Structure 1
Amino acid sequence: MLPIPEFPPLLTGHAVTAGQDPLQVALESARDASFGAGDLCWSMAETHARAAIVLEPDCPLGKALQMVPVLMIAIGDALGAIGPPNLALMYRWPSTILVNGGEVGEVFLHVPEDTGLEDTPEFLVLGFSVAMSLPPDIIEAPGLARHATALFEEGCGDLDRTQVLEAVARHFLSWVDTWEHDGFAAAHPDYLGRMQPADKLVVQTGPVTHQGRMVGIDEDGGLLLDGGGRVEGLSLAQGLGIIG
Structure 2
Amino acid sequence: MSTERDDWPEGVARHVLPSVDSTMDEAARLAPGLSGSAWIFAHEQTAARGRRGRAWRAPSGNFSATLVMRPEGGLAHAALYSFVAALALEAALAHVAGPHARLTIKWPNDVLLNGGKVAGILLESLQGAETIAIGIGVNLAVAPERSEIEPEAMAPVSLLGETGMQIAPVDFLPMLAQAFDHYDRQFRDYGFDAIRNAWLARAARLGEEITARVGGETYRGTFETIDQTGALILTTPEGRRAISAADIFF
- Report TM bin, short chain: 0.7 to 0.9
1:44 and 2:53 correspond = no
Q: Is the 8 A contact 2:83 2:109 kept in 1?
A: yes
Within the alignment, does 1:69 sit opposite 2:97 as a pair? Answer: no
Q: Which position in structure 1 is the counterpart of 2:28?
A: 27
CA shift in 2, pair 1:125/1:155, >3 Å? same
TM-score (norm 1): 0.81
1:12-48 C-alpha deviation (Å, 9 max, x unpaired)? 1112334531111102222xx1234312111214422
Corresponding residue for 1:118? Answer: none
In 2, distance between residues paired with 1:216 and 1:14?
37
Is the partner of 2:33 in helix, strand or coil?
Answer: coil
**Given the two structures, how large is their TM-score scaled by the length of structure 2?**
0.79
Q: Structure 2: give runs of 5+ residues left out of the alignment.
A: 45-59
1:217 matches 2:218: no
CA RMSD of aligned residues (A): 2.6
- C-alpha separation in 1, matches of 2:21 and 2:148: 25
Output one character per residue of 1:50-96: Cα deviation in whole Å (capped at 9) or x when no partner.
Answer: 11111112212111211110010011111222321111111111121
1:35-184, aligned counterparts within 5 Å? 35-45=34-44, 46-112=60-126, 115=128, 121-134=129-142, 138=145, 147-184=155-192
Question: Measured at CA, do residues 10 and 89 of structure 1 come closer, stay the same or move farther in structure 2, by a change above 3 Å?
Answer: same
Contact 1:5 1:165 in 2 (8 A): no
Report how far residue 180 of structure 1 moved.
Answer: 0.4
- In the alignment, the residues of structure 2 paired with residue 19 and residue 179 of structure 1 have an alpha-carbon distance, to the nearest angstrom, of 31
Give the conservation status (yes or no) of the 8 Å contact 1:216–1:225: yes
CA contact (8 A) 1:90 1:97 kept: yes
* 8 Å CA contact retained: 2:123, 2:133: yes
Aligned partner of residue 187 in structure 1, secondary structure? helix
Of 228, 235, 239, which aligns to 1:230?
239
Which residue is equivalent to 2:11? 10
* 1:100 positional shift: 0.3
Cα 1:143/1:41, change in 2 over 3 Å: closer
CA contact (8 A) 1:102 1:147 kept: yes
Identity of aligned residues (%): 20
Matched positions, count:
223
- Counterparts of 1:25 and 1:5, CA distance in 2: 24
What is the rounded CA distance, in whole Å, between the counterparts of 1:56 and 1:67 in structure 2?
Answer: 11
Alpha-carbon distance change, 103 to 18 in structure 1, aligned in 2, over 3 angstroms: farther
CA contact (8 A) 2:20 2:26 kept: no
In structure 1, list runs of 5 or more residues that go unmatched.
Answer: 116-120
CA contact (8 A) 1:89 1:100 kept: yes
